[in-house]
Amino acid sequence: MKRYLRSREAILAAAIVVLTLLIALRFPAFIAPRNLANVFNDTSPLMILAIGQMIVILTKCIDLSVAATLALVGMVVSLLNIAMPGLPLIFTLILAVGLGACLGMVNGLLVWKLKIPPIVVTLGTMTIYRGITFLISQGKWVNAHQMSPAFKALPREVVLGFPLLSWFALAVIVLAAIVMTRTTLGRAFYAVGGNPHAAVYTGLDVGRTQFLAFTISGALAGLTGYLWVSRYAVAYVDIAGGFELDVVAACVIGGVSIAGGIGSVGAAVLGALFLGVVKNALPVINISPFWQLAISGAAIIIAVAVNSRAYRTKGRIILKQAEVSA
């Protein structure tokens, strides 16, 4: 029990509660159950993407193309809906997840087979995916009146008091937690990031494991692409522009180590919730929402600095001991 209370997740959860209560002192309606449910719902896309990013970071990689993948998949399913408005939503969801997974595979193959650094690969594919989005849309927007009612309604449907968007996020959280804690694949992600050389000796293929991590991240970004455009009923080239920064920030705020091998699903979710509370609180305390990017960037720097000190291994300083002995 004491170990849990001292964990990063418990500290972050307490920080979220304290922050929420401080905001409530100025705006009591902020802690109303309906508003808190709305905050969770608003943060659901970030939570889904943060879980995918967390898996990638665990393997000593990073995926900066998640927002571009979201935009491309969102545009594809929107244009498909215009062309085939009667297409069952299950096929739209399958296409979104499948296309996102394929885009993630491109990142994974470039990292695995060509040994290109992940940050270089995903910066390149981020630009490529945005360019493809512009080409297939010809720079035009897809607006609400062009989308079918069923296409727009799915994430807004309320089940047991929560919109389906929130239920999608909860389903991803539960499934990811099971995979990361109860399966060989989840243990492989931690092993590859924690000690790649030792992982090789145990029979793990580091490149293949990283490829699978990118594939999962892409699949979750594809799912989020459909949920995003259907919820907001609009698709355009720059949709979710800069959102990859929030996704990385959510992970590092939650304690996911950029060096790999350390992190959890709960950490990524709590990091996303922290940013979600901050974002929803900015208008309440009369701060421009445009400060969100600056806050996210500052949060990344602070969290990485804190993480690096927390995870630094304490070893013997041999030279200094030798001097003392002499």
Examine residue 57 and state whether it is found in any structural domain, yes or no.
yes
| Domain range for 263 | 40-308
Domain count, the chain: 1
Contact 267, 12 (CB under 8 A): yes
For residue 255, which of 303, 211, 212, 294 has the smallest C-alpha distance?
303
Q: What share of the chain is helix, strand, coil (3-state, %, to 5)?
A: 75, 0, 25
In this prediction the pTM is 0.90
Q: In this structure, what CATH number is given to the domain that contains residue 59?
A: 1.10.3470
**Average pLDDT taken over every residue of the chain:** 88
Contact 154, 90 (CB under 8 A): no
Rounded CA-CA distance 41/58 in Å is 26
Can you spell out the DSSP letters for 298-319? Answer: HHHHHHHHHHHHHS------HH
Average pLDDT, integer, range 95-112: 98
The larger pLDDT score, comparing residue 98 to residue 323, is at: 98
Examine residue 228 and state whether it is found in any structural domain, yes or no.
yes
Rounded CA-CA distance 118/110 in Å is 8
For 40-44, 99-103, 249-253, which range has the lowest pLDDT when averaged over its residues? 249-253
pLDDT at 310 exceeding the cut of 80: no
Q: 265-281 vs 8-26: helix axis angle to the nearest 10?
A: 20
Examine residue 34 and state whether it is found in any structural domain, yes or no.
no
Which amino acid is located at 197 in the chain? H
Examine residue 75 and state whether it is found in any structural domain, yes or no.
yes
Rounded CA-CA distance 132/138 in Å is 9
Structure-token pair, residue 100: 């996102």
Examine residue 16 and state whether it is found in any structural domain, yes or no.
no
Average pLDDT, integer, range 247-270: 91
For residue 236, which of 126, 93, 127, 134 has the smallest C-alpha distance?
134
For residue 213, which of 321, 93, 121, 319 has the smallest C-alpha distance?
121
pLDDT band at residue 6, thresholds of 50, 70 and 90? low
Examine residue 325 and state whether it is found in any structural domain, yes or no.
no
Q: Which residue is associated with the tokens 């939503």?
A: 89
Examine residue 214 and state whether it is found in any structural domain, yes or no.
yes
How high is the pLDDT of residue 106? 98
pLDDT at 216 exceeding the cut of 60: yes
Task: Give per-residue pLDDT as tens, 139-166.
Answer: 999 999 999 999 999 999 999 889 999 9
Examine residue 198 and state whether it is found in any structural domain, yes or no.
yes
The DSSP call for residue 31 is: G
Query: Can you tell me whether residue 326 is helix, strand or coil?
Result: coil
How high is the pLDDT of residue 89? 94
The larger pLDDT score, comparing residue 311 to residue 216, is at: 216
For residue 54, which of 250, 273, 299 has the smallest C-alpha distance?
250
Q: Who's near 129: CB < 8 A, 6+ residues apart?
A: 65, 68, 69, 71, 72, 103
Average pLDDT, integer, range 22-37: 88
Average pLDDT, integer, range 245-267: 90
Average pLDDT, integer, range 276-280: 87
